[in-house]
Structure 1
Amino acid sequence: MKKKIIVITGSPRRNGNSFAMTDAFIKAAEEKGHTVTRFDAGLSKVGGCIACDKCYSKEGKACVFDDDFNKIAPLIEDADGVIFTAPLYWYTFPGQIKNFIDKMYSFMIGEKNIAGKECGLIVCCEEQDASAMEGIRFSYERSTSLIKWKSLGEVLVPGVLHPGDVKNTDGLQKAAALADSF
């Protein structure tokens, strides 16, 4: 079955390792016939949530602040799956994608039913020890559990710092293989 998948990236570096893994996932998903929409949160203007609880109350927009989150929110509502990709920053998500994740609160307060979607996580980090990614995994797992999404897998690649380092790992292959889960 062909699915609509949204890929949310968190890196501000287009030539970084997480972008390379994102590209590998997207290519594999499209080859399987899925429709993939990419949203580069790390290169977009998405401000932080201020917990005003006015989500979806102004002109039907997800957030009262008119930033790039309002462009992707309707696509998330319509999607079958969501993939989060990011480099590890200080043991969690980079701020750029964290703002996006925080604004997903709007789906709950705005009474939008987005439960039942499939999701996945693709992350890389400089440290050699994969346990360095436990913080980002915990945040992903708790957030997706709260909104009742089903995780199809996590690709966690340690030991990549410089652009292109991921090519010396199995990260690109694992990211592409995650597309098989959809």
Structure 2
Amino acid sequence: MKKSKKIVIITGSPRKNGNSFAMVEVFTKEAERNGHSITRYDAADMTIKGCTACETCFKTGKACSFDDDFNKIAPTIEEADAIVFATPLYWFTFPAKIKAVIDKFYAFLVSKRAVGNKECALIVCCEDNDLPMFDGIRFAYKQTTDLLQWQSVGEVLVPSVAAPGDIHKTNGIEQAIALADKF
């Protein structure tokens, strides 16, 4: 039997009834059915400022010296066994709000915290039907997870979804469930 894991999901969509949220919902249910605990942060609803590279990370007792919602996320990232990024594709990469979270992962590098020994995954959908559209976000994801020495367990990349509910015309829901089973 697989070990129960603490999984943190960070979403990037501002659309509550959107396609990436639909995949997150089924991923969450399957992961919980498998005995994992889920903590979810919807970055689009949070106040997270960009990293200023001040390098005072964790010196005030918080991950970021500039107090914003990243300080709510950071402790759960440290405790987590796995991190899942779930988002629509915006201009070939992560939307700004989730990118701000990722930029602040710099705190983990500066402090040598949350580096290594974590699994991660990527769930992305986009309106375009051309799979190379995912190249930018896949590159950013891979470089981020490599730098943090996290091990990717998989990616769900679903093209050709625009309107809410379009995900149900694809196999994206099934892919998200299968990804949850890999943890």
Scaled by the length of structure 1, the TM-score of the pair is 0.98
Deviation of 1:110 (Å): 1.7
Indicate whether 1:128 and 2:121 are aligned: no
**What CA distance in whole angstroms lies between the structure 2 residues aligned with 1:141 and 1:23?**
24
Q: Which residue of 2 aligns with 1:41?
A: 43
Alignment of 1:104-115 (within 5 A): 104-115=105-116
Q: Where does the alignment leave 5 or more consecutive residues of structure 2 unmatched? A: none
**What CA distance in whole angstroms lies between the structure 1 residues aligned with 2:42 and 2:114?**
24
Contact 1:4/1:80 (8 A) holds in 2: yes
**What CA distance in whole angstroms lies between the structure 2 residues aligned with 1:46 and 1:144?**
20
Deviation of 1:113 (Å): 4.0
Q: Which residue of 1 aligns with 2:5?
A: 3
**What CA distance in whole angstroms lies between the structure 2 residues aligned with 1:176 and 1:106?**
32
Alignment RMSD (CA, Å): 0.7
Contact 2:119/2:151 (8 A) holds in 1: yes
Q: Which moved more, 1:139-148 or 1:113-122?
A: 113-122
**What CA distance in whole angstroms lies between the structure 1 residues aligned with 2:84 and 2:182?**
12
Q: Secondary structure at the match of 1:86?
A: strand
Deviation of 1:42 (Å): 1.4
**What CA distance in whole angstroms lies between the structure 2 residues aligned with 1:114 and 1:145?**
10
Deviation of 1:131 (Å): 1.2
Q: Which residue of 1 aligns with 2:29?
A: 27
How many pairs were matched up? 181
- Aligned residues: percent identity? 56
Q: Secondary structure at the match of 2:17?
A: coil
Deviation of 1:111 (Å): 2.4
**What CA distance in whole angstroms lies between the structure 2 residues aligned with 1:31 and 1:125?**
28
| Counterpart AA for 2:177 | A
**What CA distance in whole angstroms lies between the structure 1 residues aligned with 2:44 and 2:102?**
12
**What CA distance in whole angstroms lies between the structure 2 residues aligned with 1:51 and 1:92?**
22
| Counterpart AA for 1:42 | A
**What CA distance in whole angstroms lies between the structure 1 residues aligned with 2:115 and 2:10?**
16
**What CA distance in whole angstroms lies between the structure 1 residues aligned with 2:177 and 2:51?**
32
Q: Where does the alignment leave 5 or more consecutive residues of structure 1 unmatched? A: none
| Counterpart AA for 1:124 | C
Alignment of 1:169-180 (within 5 A): 169-180=170-181
Per-residue CA deviation, residues 30-73 of structure 1 (Å, 9 max, x unaligned), is 01010011011111111111111111111x10001111110010
Deviation of 1:7 (Å): 0.3
Per-residue CA deviation, residues 115-174 of structure 1 (Å, 9 max, x unaligned), is 110000000000011110110000000100000000000000000000110010000110
Scaled by the length of structure 2, the TM-score of the pair is 0.97
Contact 1:11/1:43 (8 A) holds in 2: no
